[in-house]
């Protein structure tokens, strides 16, 4: 596994990915708006807290390669910059992070994202293993519960123990391991999901300090390479590893469960869609 990981890094020039900015800025903003991830703070033990808007990430404003590039850049920035800095500050090695997954807005349309999510998770499994200490799932709708029920038995016990599905926004439970200032915005009092927050508090926003630091770091390293011309638009193409058999089974199981849910609720969804369309027309938004 180590040899394959090293080969992947060499073949795809991963060591240079933090000097490959996503340009123009408008495209980077589109990626950030549709791939919801950010760092909200640290746990009381000093582990970085990464927030991921699973339900509201649409992955529909750029090519797959830009989303993969962005994801790997965040991984590399975490491992090369954040974790060494935190370890030095705390006087002990800190090598993992905590992830809070917001399921607000999770819908049947998630079917169209399974392939991309599988690519990203496979890259993580094969090349960034054991980097997440615990996953906390919050704001989980029924559709997540239905999928989790059938997927949970397929996971290895070690992985199952890492996943904690919390009630509601998970605020009270998360405050046991982190201060309020480190809570992701969608877990704070009165929150109702990933989208109802000011940009200053929203760790997904391109204006959040984490994303500003990451963007400036990549831009600086591009410029220090002696590049005379501005970076040109074009994604950093990375080879997609073949997912392991277990991951393929999990992806197919999720897809099957979503289809079942769609078939059982097709009439209700159709009625809701028509109702929504009528309300939109009535409000003069079209």
Residue 156, preceding peptide bond in cis (omega within 30° of 0): no
249 is a domain residue: yes
Dump pLDDT digits (tens) for 2-16: 999 999 999 999 999
Q: Is the pTM of this model over 0.85?
A: no
158 is a domain residue: yes
Using the predicted structure, report yes or no on whether residue 134 has a pLDDT greater than 50.
yes
Confidence of residue 271 (pLDDT cuts 50, 70, 90): very low
Dump pLDDT digits (tens) for 164-183: 999 999 999 999 999 999 99
- The domain that contains 243 carries what CATH number? 3.40.525.10
239 is a domain residue: yes
The total of other beta-carbon atoms located within 10 Å of residue 144's CB is 19
In this prediction, residues 128-153 reach a mean pLDDT of 91
Q: What is the pLDDT of residue 39?
A: 98
Nearest to 127 by CA among 34, 22, 234, 8: 8
**Percent of the chain residues past pLDDT 70, beyond the cut:** 81
Which pair of tokens denotes residue 182?
């480190």
209 is a domain residue: no
100 is a domain residue: yes
214 is a domain residue: no
State how many domains the chain has: 1
Domain that holds residue 6: 1-188+235-275
**Average pLDDT of the chain to the nearest whole number:** 84
26 is a domain residue: yes
217 is a domain residue: no
- 132-138/37-42 β-pairing: unpaired
- Rg, Å, the chain Cα set: 20
Q: What is the pLDDT of residue 230?
A: 54
Nearest to 171 by CA among 191, 197, 150: 191
Q: How far is CA 195 from CA 22, 35, 166, 265, 268, in A?
A: 24, 13, 19, 26, 25
In this prediction, residues 265-274 reach a mean pLDDT of 47
């Amino acid at each position: 596994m180590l040899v394959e990981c090293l080969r992947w890094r060499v073949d795809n020039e991963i060591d240079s990915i933090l000097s490959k900015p996503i340009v123009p800025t408008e495209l980077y903003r589109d990626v950030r708006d549709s791939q919801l991830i950010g760092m909200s703070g640290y746990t009381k033990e000093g582990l970085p807290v990464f927030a991921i808007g699973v339900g509201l990430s649409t992955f529909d404003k750029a090519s797959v390669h830009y989303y993969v590039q962005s994801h790997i850049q965040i991984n590399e920035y975490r491992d090369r910059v954040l974790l060494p800095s935190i370890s030095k500050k705390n006087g002990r090695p800190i090598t993992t992070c905590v992830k809070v997954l917001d399921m607000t807005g999770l819908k049947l349309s998630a079917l169209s994202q399974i392939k991309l999510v599988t690519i990203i998770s496979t890259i993580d499994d094969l090349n960034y293993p054991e980097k997440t200490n615990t996953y906390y799932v919050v704001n989980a709708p029924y559709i997540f519960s239905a999928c989790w029920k059938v997927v949970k038995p397929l996971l290895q016990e070690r992985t199952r123990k890492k996943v904690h599905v919390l009630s509601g926004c998970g605020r009270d439970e998360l405050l046991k391991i982190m201060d309020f200032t480190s809570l992701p915005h969608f877990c704070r009092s009165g929150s109702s999901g990933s989208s109802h927050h000011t940009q200053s508090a929203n760790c997904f926003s391109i204006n959040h300090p984490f994303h500003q630091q990451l963007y400036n770091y990549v831009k600086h390293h591009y410029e220090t390479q002696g590049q005379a011309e501005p970076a040109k638009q074009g994604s950093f193409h990375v080879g997609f590893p073949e997912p392991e058999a277990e991951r393929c089974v999990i992806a197919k199981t999720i897809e099957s469960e979503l289809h079942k849910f769609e078939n059982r609720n097709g009439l209700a969804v159709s009625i809701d869609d028509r109702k929504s369309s009528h309300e939109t027309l009535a409000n003069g938004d079209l």
